[in-house]
Structures are given as C-alpha cells and as structure tokens.
Amino acid sequence: MENIYRFTLEKLKKYCIEKGYKPFKAEQIYDWLYRKRVTSFMEMTNIKKEVREILKKDLTFTQLKVLKIEKDKDVHKYLFELIDKSKVEAVLMFHDYGNSLCISTQVGCNMGCTFCESGRLKKVRNLNIEEMVLQYLQIEKLEKKKITHVVLMGIGEPFDNYENVITFIHILNEGKGIGLGSRHITVSTCGIIPKIENFIEDGKQVNLAISLHAPTDELRTKIMPINKAYPLKELMKVLQKYIQKTNRRLTFEYIMLQGVNDTKKCAYELVNLVKNMNCYINLIPYNETSHIDYKKSSSDSILAFYDILKKEHIQVTIRKEFGSKVSAACGQLRANYEEGK
C-alpha cells in the first residue's frame, strides 16, 4: 500500500484514471486531504462509498508520533518518532511577518559540518515525502495556527534527498491543496553543485539559501568537509548561473563562531567573495551545545562584522535568536533524547 501523502495532484489524477474515475475525483480527494484535513477515506462524504473502499484498500494514511514538545516565547520545537522508530525535529518560529516552520529532510546528516549537532549523529536514511508533509500538517493542527512559511533547514541536507524534497515542495505549492506560495518556501543547501544545477533546470521559484559559514576555501574546508568536493570557486560559479537564470536573490547563511570566522579579516574576505552578486548575508548567532566545543561570537563581534558588510554595501541581516529555553541547536533535541535514554 502506498501512502496518500506521497501523491502530487498529477500523480493522484493518474491513479484515478487508471481506476476508471474522472480526474476531478483526485481534486475532491486533495480537497479533503489538504483543505478539510481529514485523516481517513471514510470521512470523504461526497465520494461514493464503493470508491472510498477501493481507496482504503489501495492507499494508507499515517501519522507521526509526537515524542516531545519544547516551548519558548517565540519558538516551539517538536520531536517526532517515525514508523521505524527514527527521530526527527521540526521547529515552529513566530515572526512578525508570520509563522515559519523549519522542517527536517533526513534522519541525521552525512555532510559532517563540524559545528552542527545534526551531523554528529550520522545519516540513517532520507525522509519519505509523507514524513515531510506530515511535519507540516500535524504541527499546524496542534498549534491551531496557519503556517505561512516553510524552510528546509532542519536535520539533514535537502539536496542529498533531492527527488523527495522537490516532490514535497510541489505538494506544498499545489494551489488545489496546501497552496503555499513559492516565495514562502526556502530550501537550504551546503553546496552540492550537481543538485544546484538540477534545481536551476527544474525551475522552482522557491528561495535558495546557501550554508556558507566561511569566506575562504582553507577555512571552509576545516569546518565544512563538503568544500573539498565542491570548493568555493566552483560553487560561486554555479550560484552566479542561478542568479542569472532565475533573476532571484540568493541568501548566504553565515553562522558566527567565536574566534573562527568572526574576525574583521573574515568580514572583508566575505565582501570580496560576494560583491556584485544579487544576494544578502544572514548572520546567525551560534546555538551552543554541550557536545561541540564551538562558542557563539560575542554581540560586539557580530555587530562589528555586520558594520563592515554594511559599509561595503553588502545587504546583511542578523537573525533573531530563538529558543534560549529549548534545545535550540539543530538536531540537539533529537541527540539529547537518543543519548539520554
């Protein structure tokens, strides 16, 4: 049996046609799934009972088990257990512009970034499409609040689970279903160049963010092993191609690590790297964890770094800090749960 939440509207139409139903039947089912949010075929009362019985026989619903919720003023962090007992996190952040959900795309991560809690417990597997869809649906139901933005920046490297992630984005974006606008969806990658090339060709109008975190190959390779395979010169070349082809502004994420990448020298090197690009830099105060030795840059260091970028006419923001009372680092809630058992 295949999970109903794996289906795009087009795939569901093909299924209906194969069963001898009109394609409109798929739109009815999609309406029940994503507008009315039912969780069984028997609740789809405008569909004939014999059709519902066939749907029930062919397709299945699942739900994720909520193991733990941690709450702070502007953030709620969820720990989910999947059907195979794996654990993933999702984080809902309350901004002045709306409610943004950070979704996981993998169980663990193999990218090996030295500052990241997610990668300390290595990749177990990719998330299936429905496991991403259900993070969105279940949190929206539990919170009784509309999720207005989705970012794929949770546990895992989204472009290491490329096909499932693209299908998930398609489901989020479907106007007859969830209907979340492309500009309200952001996918983040550490820089897997072949997948960025695919992303350009796929023509998705969602936002692209690059986990940069260092302005030179020497430093980036020390803290992000992916840079050995895809060094900055090659990465910047494909990103210029992305900007030219899509005419979209690019985001560079830059976690501020005390004494590592937060010096004035690093700031000027970053200016040289991104100047003349249609981009902005998002400076992110580091969330410290007991398992990793990196420390958060001081407020003075972050502001000095910010000022240099501003004076050099680089668009830059400092991300608001979330979750001082929760396991704030990406993957920290999962790691604490797994290792505390």
Query: Would you please indicate which residues are annotated as catalytic (active-site) residues?
Result: 89, 330
Distances (CA, A) of 8 to 173, 175, 249: 10, 11, 28
In the DSSP assignment, the letter for residue 128 is P
Q: Which residues contact 337 (CB under 8 A, 6 or more apart)?
A: 67, 68, 79, 87
Q: Packing angle between helix 129-143 and helix 162-173, nearest 10 degrees?
A: 40
**Residue 71: strand pairing partners:** 76
Please say whether the beta carbons of 147 and 184 come within 8 A: no
Alpha helices (runs of H) in the chain, residue ranges in sequence order: 9-18, 24-34, 49-58, 129-143, 162-173, 193-202, 217-223, 226-229, 232-246, 264-274, 299-311, 332-340
d(CA 80, CA 62): 13
d(CA 127, CA 230): 24
Pull the structure tokens for residue 110.
């193999």
